Amino acid sequence: MHDNQSQRLQLRKLIRQRRQQLSPAQQQQAANDLVSQALALPALNNSQHIALYLANDSELDTFPLIQTLWQQGKQLYLPVLHPFAAGYLLFVRYDQDTLLYPNRFGIPEPLAECHRLLPVDQLDIIFTPLVAFDLKGNRLGMGGGFYDRTLSQLPTKSRSKVIGLAYNCQQVDAVPCEAWDIPLNKVITPGEYFDFRSMITP
Ligand SMILES: Nc1nc2c(c(=O)[nH]1)N(C=O)[C@@H](CNc1ccc(C(=O)N[C@@H](CCC(=O)O)C(=O)O)cc1)CN2
Ligand SMILES: Nc1ncnc2c1ncn2[C@@H]1O[C@H](COP(=O)(O)OP(=O)(O)OP(=O)(O)O)[C@@H](O)[C@H]1O
């Protein structure tokens, strides 16, 4: 296998294990701390349509954040595996009473009903899951390329609305990146806010 690919596989395995070792108490604390970090985001006030995800595979739990944003009257959206365009995601409205069905990875998702879809360019913030990130904003995901493909449809100037969510232990020195990777401008962790554009030194 190509060297970069095997490095990505190894890193994915390592960081997923690292995440799985967090205790239930640590996970809960992190999920609550994430709410304060997200509420401090300058962009949040002016954002009405926000995409999130439901945690899977020991990802940082977004549910406390989801509940807080619902209380604030925000309209939330979840990723749904595209029924026709393989490898792409659709973003579907998620309300408190929306019924969810497990997709082929076992992740609960709403039905992809046309009137509940919002095109990616109309979302104000897209919070993405990730496995590992580095300080250049490189992102390693679960390996399906779903977010990379879907976000490649966004014009570069809209990339700043994409924000990765992760535990601090998911930060690595360097993600071995590929040509198709869409770098993140921002990542929030339970304790930190990273804006990679402002961290680039000339
Ligand atoms: N919470 C969450 N939702 C998400 C994503 C995600 O990373 N996290 N995705 C981000 O793209 C999409 C789903 N992508 C996924 C890709 C691989 C696996 C996964 O568990 N792979 C298994 C192999 C399973 C199989 O092939 O049947 C594995 O790696 O062990 C899960 C989700 C859409 N929804
Ligand atoms: N924009 C794209 N167009 C076509 N193929 C793509 C694109 N982005 C990624 N892919 C393909 O998807 C596969 C998985 O990509 P990658 O390993 O980067 O996924 P990932 O970032 O870990 O996963 P995800 O984005 O779903 O969280 C690769 O084989 C790659 O060729």
State the total domains in the chain.
Answer: 1
**pLDDT, tens digit (0-9, with 9 covering 90-100), for 136-154:** 999 999 999 999 999 999 9
Query: With pLDDT > 90 as the criterion, what percentage of the chain qualifies?
Result: 89
Confidence of residue 180 (pLDDT cuts 50, 70, 90): confident
Name the average pLDDT for the chain.
95
- Residue 96 is predicted with a pLDDT of 98
**pLDDT, tens digit (0-9, with 9 covering 90-100), for 62-115:** 999 999 999 999 999 999 999 999 999 999 999 999 999 999 999 999 999 999
Indicate which residue's Cα is closest to atom 18 of ligand 2. Answer: 145
Which structural domain, as residue segments, surrounds residue 156? Answer: 3-199
Closest of 149, 148, 160 to residue 185, by C-alpha: 160
Give the Cα separation of 159 and 131 in Å (integer). Answer: 19
Q: Which of 103, 146, 148, 154 to mutate to test the pocket of ligand 2 (most atoms within 8 A of CB)?
A: 148
3-state secondary structure of 154: coil
What CATH number does residue 94 fall under? 3.40.50.10420
Q: Which of 180, 181, 182, 184 to mutate to test the pocket of ligand 2 (most atoms within 8 A of CB)?
A: 180
Q: Give the strand pairing for 125-128 and 162-165.
A: parallel
Distance from the alpha carbon of residue 148 to the mean position of ligand 2, in angstroms: 5
Pocket of ligand 1 (CB under 6 A): 53-57, 59, 79, 89, 105, 107, 129, 141-144, 146-147
Q: Give the strand pairing for 139-140 and 132-133.
A: antiparallel
Is the ipTM of this structure higher than 0.95?
A: no
Tokens describing residue 199: 């961290």
Distance from the alpha carbon of residue 143 to the mean position of ligand 2, in angstroms: 6
On whether the CB atoms of residues 151 and 171 are closer than 8 A, the answer is: no
